[in-house]
Amino acid sequence: MAKANKLFHLLLRFLAFGSTLCAAIVMATSHEKATVLNISFEAKYSNTPSFKFFFIGNAIGCIYSLLVLFIRSSGHSFGRVILALDMIVTMLLTSCVSAALAIAYVGKKGNSHAGWLPICGQVTEFCDHVTGALIAGFIGVIIYLLLLLSHSINPLLVSKA
């Protein structure tokens, strides 16, 4: 039972690493140049603070996942510290996905009350990259939530045995 639990945690850590790495890379490579009414502009993630926050948050989540994989494999048991850090990383990823999703929605639909026009009609490749990064980031949040749930279920399984 303990071996299966360790393998499950290891699998979730690898998935968390992969999804946060993918989200960070896809967001970092999102850029496109467009011309509208003889006005040229470039859409890239670094133009928007929310997208920068998304990139940095997923990079932190990726590095943390990789570090925890090495700590766990070396035999150290910092269960409570890892649980607390998992909670912090989950909150970080949730907030950065939420912030980026809000800006992506404005880019897709615009905001008629503020007079902001949607830009995804002009820079579709950029918007597709952002959408892919948001999907990968949301998957990372779900995986971290599963890790937190598995931390909370694990003591229950040990006490019944």
Per-residue pLDDT of the chain (161 residues; tens, 9 = 90+): 567 777 888 899 999 999 999 999 999 998 787 777 777 877 888 888 999 999 999 999 999 999 988 886 555 667 788 888 999 999 999 999 999 999 999 988 888 888 788 888 888 888 899 999 999 999 999 999 999 998 777 654 444 43
List all residues 6 or more positions away from 151 whose beta carbon is below 8 Å from its beta carbon.
79, 83, 86
Range of the domain at 55: 1-159
Closest CA to 57 of 72, 65, 105, 84: 65
Report how many domains make up the chain.
1
What pLDDT is attached to residue 72? Answer: 66
What pLDDT is attached to residue 96? Answer: 96
Sign of CA dihedral 73, 2, 84, 53: positive
